[in-house]
């Protein structure tokens, strides 16, 4: 049986697409093994997928770093390059863990941050496929990413560029790549220490000789030639089970609420956004349902009342379509679930790809963006009011949802992978 190893790292938004892809490949008769942090073992095994743990799990990682989970999240959210440095800290360990998993495989499919999977594949002389979960890393001159910093603001890319604008964008992309390359010095050194030949590809950014690059996101988020690799969104979120009766009762007990969530990760560093979002909903006479991930009411500190329910987790697919507005952080997985739900969105991006995801969703005419640094109750109230009272947002959200619901990125990606494995 043909063996495929899927490797990913990150939060739920980095995990769910690989569950969807793994199930699609397994359904075609492939022997699929997923390798990631042991923290996620139950998710994959509950989906019927074979699992291999790589590197430290979440508890071990925070122990090694000598920080609390909340401090770890603050470090990640305050430093866009923290994850790249951490991935290099763990690179040798992850390669060691992956070597026996990859042995005998016919193909390795890896998330861009799982550079260890690419190295293990090369060491075994096995082809690999590079997966992107958001379009920002393409750095396309035709559809450039929104790269921003609190000190300098957004990078001055030309939007909807003509010929001159594309030349300017290529110059900026080259400058960003040049600036990023030194940050991957340890990964490139590790490559040499493993006896692999030098490569001009930049770790964590480039595909590095991959047989294919697959964008597991909606092509609606891209413009121009960069959309060619977008195979479509995936929607796995564990939503097959019935909602908890208390959430169901809250949803049925009044008008559609504002649903607020910062995903499985950012909630630990975004209690203030959730608190201000609840205040804004109340200022407009709206109920609020907060899906707080690992956060809870103690950290949100919103005054209790019958118009508010704070809950740890509920599948986005089960609650978003019942919202008046969805307030979220712009994570790739959350964003596509909000698009599929067909409801207006208020996006408060935090870091890395989230500002770019937010900008791409907003240009579809379905959302407004209010960055975390500007997220006050007053500003949030203004933005929510516009989304609720201007009918174009709801109309456009329904139109976009019809297109997104027709996507099946896992199936299309499986088509590509199956074709790659056909005898030539």
pLDDT digits (tens, 9 = 90+) for 196-206: 999 999 999 99
For the ranges 183-187, 239-243, 264-268, the lowest mean pLDDT is seen at 264-268
The 212-215 sheet, strands edge to edge: 50-53, 31-36, 3-7, 107-111, 128-132, 212-215
* Unique residue bearing structure tokens 């990631």: 36
The enclosing H or E element of 132 equals strand 128-132
Query: Helix, strand, or coil here: 398?
Result: helix
Phi-psi sector, 194: left (phi>0), alpha (psi -120 to 50), beta: alpha
| pLDDT at residue 28 in the model | 95
Contact between 177 and 202 under an 8 Å Cβ cutoff? The reply is yes
Which pLDDT value is given to residue 30? 97
Confidence of residue 267 (pLDDT cuts 50, 70, 90): low
Angle between helices 354-362 and 332-341 (to 10 degrees): 20
> Under a CB-based contact definition with an 8 Å cutoff, are residues 150 and 373 in contact?
yes
Q: pLDDT at position 190, please? A: 95
**Does the pLDDT at position 424 exceed 80?**
no
Residues 141-157: pLDDT tens digits? 999 999 887 666 789 99
Two structure tokens written together for 119 = 């190295």
pLDDT grade for 68, boundaries at 50, 70 and 90: confident
Task: Say if residue 373's pLDDT is above 90.
Answer: no
């Amino acid at each position: 049986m043909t063996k495929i190893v899927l490797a990913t790292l990150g939060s739920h938004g980095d995990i769910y697409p690989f569950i969807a892809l793994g199930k699609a490949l397994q359904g075609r008769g492939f022997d699929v093994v997923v390798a990631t942090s042991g923290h996620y073992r139950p998710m994959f095994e509950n989906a019927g997928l074979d699992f291999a743990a790589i590197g430290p799990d979440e508890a071990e990682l925070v122990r090694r770093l000598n920080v609390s989970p909340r401090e770890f999240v603050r470090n990640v959210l305050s430093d866009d390059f923290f994850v790249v440095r951490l991935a290099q800290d763990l690179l040798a360990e992850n390669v060691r863990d992956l070597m026996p998993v990859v042995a005998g495989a016919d193909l390795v499919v890896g998330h861009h941050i799982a550079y260890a999977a690419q190295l293990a594949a090369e060491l075994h002389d096995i082809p690999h496929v590079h997966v992107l979960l958001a379009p920002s890393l393409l750095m396309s001159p035709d559809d450039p990413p929104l790269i921003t910093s609190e000190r300098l603001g957004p990078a001055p890319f030309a939007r909807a560029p003509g010929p001159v604008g594309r030349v300017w964008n290529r110059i900026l992309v080259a400058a960003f790549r040049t600036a990023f390359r030194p940050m991957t010095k340890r990964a490139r050194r590790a490559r040499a220490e493993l006896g692999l030949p030098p490569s001009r590809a930049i770790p964590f950014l480039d595909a590095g000789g991959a047989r294919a690059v697959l964008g597991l996101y909606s092509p609606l988020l891209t413009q121009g030639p960069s959309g060619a690799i977008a195979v479509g969104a995936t929607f796995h979120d564990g939503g097959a089970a019935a909602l908890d009766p208390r959430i169901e009762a809250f949803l049925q007990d009044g008008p559609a609420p504002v649903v607020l969530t910062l995903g499985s990760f950012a909630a630990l560093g975004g209690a203030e956004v959730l608190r201000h979002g609840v205040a804004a909903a109340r200022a407009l006479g709206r109920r609020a349902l907060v899906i707080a991930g690992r956060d809870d009411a103690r950290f949100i500190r919103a005054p209790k009342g019958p118009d508010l329910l704070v809950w740890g987790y509920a599948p986005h697919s089960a609650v978003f379509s019942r919202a008046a507005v969805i307030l979220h952080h712009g994570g790739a997985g959350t964003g596509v679930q909000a698009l599929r739900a067909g409801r207006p969105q208020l996006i408060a991006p935090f870091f890395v790809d989230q500002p770019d995801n937010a900008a791409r969703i907003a240009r579809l005419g379905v959302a407004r963006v209010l960055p975390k640094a500007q997220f006050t109750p007053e500003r949030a109230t203004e933005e929510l009011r516009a989304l609720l009272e201007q009918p174009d947002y709801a109309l456009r959200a329904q139109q976009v949802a019809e297109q997104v619901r027709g996507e099946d990125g896992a199936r299309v990606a499986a088509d590509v992978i199956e074709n790659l494995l056909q005898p030539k």
